[in-house]
Amino acid sequence: MTQLSEQEIIRREKLQELQKLGIDPYPAAEYPVNDTSVNIKENYSEATKEQFQDVCLAGRIMSVRDMGKAAFVELQDKAGRIQLYVRRDDICPGEDKTAYDVVFKKLMDIGDIIGVKGYAFITKTGATSIHAREVSILSKSLRPLPIVKSVEGQVFDEVTDPEFKYRQRYVDLVINPEVKDVFVKRTRILQTIRDFYNNLGYLEVETPILQPIPGGATARPFVTHHNALDMPLYLRIANELYLKRLIVGGFEGVYEFAKDFRNEGMDRTHNPEFTVMEMYAAYKDYEWMMRTTETLLEKVAVALHGTTEVQVGDKTIDFKAPFRRVPMYDAIKEHTGFDITGMDEAQLREVCKQLGIHVDAKFGKAKLIDEIFGEKCEGHYVQPTFITDYPVEMSPLTKKHRSKAGLVERFELIVNGKEIANAYSELNDPIDQRERFEEQVQLMERGDDEAMYIDYDFLRALEYGMPPTSGIGIGIDRLTMLMTNQPSIQDVLFFPQMKQEK
């Protein structure tokens, strides 16, 4: 059984006292909020005072300054904070002063959610405030908030523990309301992307999260069991193959904001549940996709910041199009001194050994090249850069390059040393696709638990004919980290995955 603190016991006793007085601490009726703290503070003046003679706000008590028969209360609503002036004779005009002397002064606490009706005015110190005519309790808080104090520019009792912030995000949002701005900007990012593709005439769609085959990427899946069908199902690792089925079906442009799931490690840029926007356009290739993507991200930066320049830590990243383009083999040669063009698996292992990169015995060519690039190259690309023309072994769903043997038409967008987007000229040759899937099965048999499964239904769809298509996946969480200057993926997720609480 949970052990209550002294403060929690006192608050429960206050709850009982409210109920004895016939006051419902959790009333069900609608409360007629008609304004916000920010609107009042920004728009109240002597010229507009008539508009603010009957305001109704609701929010949390964040501080109380008791002055005997009156008090100043700081109220926090959805928009910000505003001062309330609560005077005993105003909220208790008759002989009975219980509503002030008992309910307000003794039974209300910091953290309680209240409603207030009154009028706006400016105090002698110049603070736009609300003179309360009526104060109502709307929800009694049974746990005390961690109170952050600021005195002469110094902050005291600030909650910075990530364990607390991520696990109790609801409290973090109350005591650090600036955190809300990150999530407001995240929504604006989504809306900008949505508007961009809608203006191109593309359709937003939804595809299955529970899938019989975890296809569309190389990753370890989460597995579950469907009792009625008596069959295993997987949480999707990507929505790619379903979106390409829609291209087969005749849609010429589709996109989806997808929750994907990968049963892998967690760090500052990885969460097992994450958001990806995938888009597929018929009759396009990866060159078109590069031009379209840099235009999109330029628009996102301007929508959030009014400029293409975004501050990320101590770096200024410029999303002004066009972005730099660097073939993968050129990147590896530049940063390692090795030209790995045409190397077989044994030669690549030797390169890894000379570079001091530890690799698993079960890794094939694709994983070896990926390790070399990830360890020695990726971190060098701070400004937006398209890494292009990947080896065919690394890209089982990608069309072979039209002029460079052994490569495919693929790019990854690297920003601030991390992959933000991955895109292809999509493989639409069903025979080639079947062979690539079979190569993945061989890797699985070698012990690669991230190798791709064969999706026979997708192969059947390709056999009906898929037009030339380009597709992209953009990591929304990482993009939000960049655009809001947040160092960890946990800072852009309301409720990141956590270890089980002790």
- What is the DSSP pairing of strand 128-139 with strand 81-87? parallel
φ and ψ at 330, to 5 degrees?
-65, -40
| Cα–Cα nearest to 71, from 50, 88, 92 | 88
Local structure of 253: helix, strand or coil: strand
Whole-Å CA distances, 283 to 251, 288, 433: 11, 10, 19
| Cα–Cα nearest to 378, from 331, 338, 315 | 331
Q: In the 3-class helix/strand/coil scheme, how is 107-120 assigned residue by residue?
A: HCCCCCEEEEEEEE
Residue 312: partners with Cβ closer than 8 Å, 6 or more residues away: 416, 482, 485
Asked whether 397 and 422 are in contact (CB, 8 A), the reply is: no
Which two three-digit tokens encode residue 226?
Answer: 């469907």
Name the H helices within 147-229.
162-167, 169-175, 179-199
Residue 152: partners with Cβ closer than 8 Å, 6 or more residues away: none
* C-alpha–C-alpha distance, residues 365 and 323, integer Å: 29
Any binding-site annotation on 419? yes
| Cα–Cα nearest to 440, from 501, 484, 380, 393 | 393
* C-alpha–C-alpha distance, residues 252 and 288, integer Å: 15
Long-range contacts of 215-219 (CB under 8 A, 24+ apart): 215/240, 215/241, 215/452, 215/453, 215/455, 215/458, 216/240, 216/241, 216/242, 216/397, 217/260, 217/262, 217/452, 218/396, 218/440, 218/450, 218/451, 218/452, 219/262, 219/263, 219/264, 219/450
Whole-Å CA distances, 274 to 10, 266, 477, 495: 41, 11, 7, 11
How far out from the chain centre does Cα 206 lie?
A: 19
Biggest alpha carbon distance in the chain?
A: 94
Asked whether 205 and 279 are in contact (CB, 8 A), the reply is: no
Query: What's the residue count for the chain?
Result: 502
Annotated binding site: 412, 419
Annotated binding site for Mg(2+): 412, 419
